[in-house]
Chain A
């Protein structure tokens, strides 16, 4: 199993801080019949970045660019967590021991398990360590 199989293309969208931006992104996804698995909004003074995991990243990127959004792909990994107390600790601790820095993360409750999305400074290294420690990573093909 190659580590890159677990590197997922997240869509990152720059958004001015004004009403209707998220709605415009969501509408674009709806029109293309793209399914959003998870998203988060990071906000700073005057602007925000919307991060989205979808089933067809390439189509989503093209669509958003076409309607004028500034969009890029960002490599993230998705870990299936045990949906019990201590589930997050298990994952975070593996990364901490490996000295891998989490730049940001968000989580969603999937159909079978809770899923933690991570942007880390060394993606492949993180995948390796997580797999070595028995973590359950979601494959990128789920998101393409």
Chain B
């Protein structure tokens, strides 16, 4: 079993903690001195860099939220000048303004190194041919995996998303051994191959899949592994932290979070209190060495737990359990983040329908489908079907523009949808992962 950087990855836990503390201390001093944003935040919280005298003192520092990035669009909280940036990535902006993430040369190196360790932990290396079927471009998945795979000496096939039959042909022609994509795309690939009369298990060299960017279950992993004759590994990351960075090792028992790169906390989402190892809560991460856009105690919103025991693979860095859900009501539809509040916002701008709606999410084959049921306003009712179809198309177009994902629309009569006195339950998620 190969380890990319044994000196770091097998570092005794105590030493790792010391290293984390040194990075944290440096980070806090740097930000307090040079970032207006962090300086103000820390003053508001009445915390000074001198108050950080141990790793545990991190709890004195303020949290950071996704809204901080949006409110400071595009780059107001960057701590590196533009001429030191070598790349931007931009989120899809599904909750309103997109968020922009910038990278210095060193930020990219750390990101790439993180993935080099992770892909090695998943058993990949020189000799592997890796098809990267995550989107290339503003989305972090494609380029992130691309450079990580090149770093370990694998041969990259940068297929990006779509054109599935061609992807399967290439998989055969170039003897692809590994793939990185969303779990639902993996299922879709398997189904498409089957229609083409190709068995992934028997007719290709595919052995490893690195899957992430949307939730999936252990049951789904087992089924994929069995049907396609592959080992499937969970990968984790978010664009705010760089992009995909962390994967499981061959043990398939938790995602290794490299401690020198990220400090992980699990908190109670309501109180903000840190929770002990093993307890489920909201994942909070501090990226310890980030230059362009430092993230301290970033509240990701994903629910998981942390395991700090040494992994049987020998790596000492903590692992997080596969993501169990979200603190907020975010949905992930075909890899795109969707909030019911966005749907509401879009509907309120359409006079022909009311603000009452319900979202039904299903998975048909490998594809997520999202149906929005919305009440037609009585004034807009016409007994000409074409008039109602026009309204339906209008709603459909507006929602697609807002959400960046196509949704089905079902118009229903006024009052047909349930009303809520407390918190509205607007989402029915029928997906079986």
Contact = CB atoms under 8 A, between A and B. Distances in A.
Contact of A42 (B376, B381, B385): B385
B388 A47 contact: yes
Interface string B397-417: 000000000000111111110
B383 interface: yes
A12 B376 contact: no
A70 B414 contact: yes
Contacts of A70: 376, 378, 381, 413-414
B382 A72 contact: yes
B413 A15 contact: yes
Interface string B371-390: 00000101001111100110
Contact of A68 (B384, B410, B415): B415
Contact of A72 (B383, B409, B415): B383
A113 to B, nearest CB: 25
Nearest to B380: A70
A55 to B, nearest CB: 19
B54 to A, nearest CB: 60
Interface of A is mostly: strand
Nearest to B389: A44
Interface string A32-47: 0000000000101111
Nearest to B387: A49
Given A14-B413, A15-B413, A68-B413, A44 B381 contact: no
B380 to A, nearest CB: 9
A69 interface: yes
A49 B378 CA distance: 13
Contacts, number: 48
B219 to A, nearest CB: 32
A69 B376 CA distance: 11
Interface in B79-102: none
Nearest to A15: B413
A16 B381 contact: no
B383 A49 contact: yes
Contacts of A44: 385, 388-389
A72 B412 contact: no
B385 A16 contact: no
A14 B374 CA distance: 14
A46 B411 contact: yes
Nearest to A76: B383
B413 A74 contact: no
Contacts of A15: 413
Contact of A16 (B383, B389, B416): B416
Contacts of A46: 392, 409-411
22 contacts: A10-B383, A12-B381, A12-B383, A14-B376, A14-B381, A14-B388, A14-B413, A16-B410, A16-B412, A42-B385, A44-B389, A46-B411, A47-B411, A49-B383, A68-B414, A68-B415, A69-B413, A72-B381, A72-B382, A72-B383, A74-B383, A103-B384
Interface of B: 376, 378, 381-385, 388-389, 392, 409-416
What 3 A-B pairs are tightest by C-beta distance, nearest first? A12-B383, A46-B410, A70-B413
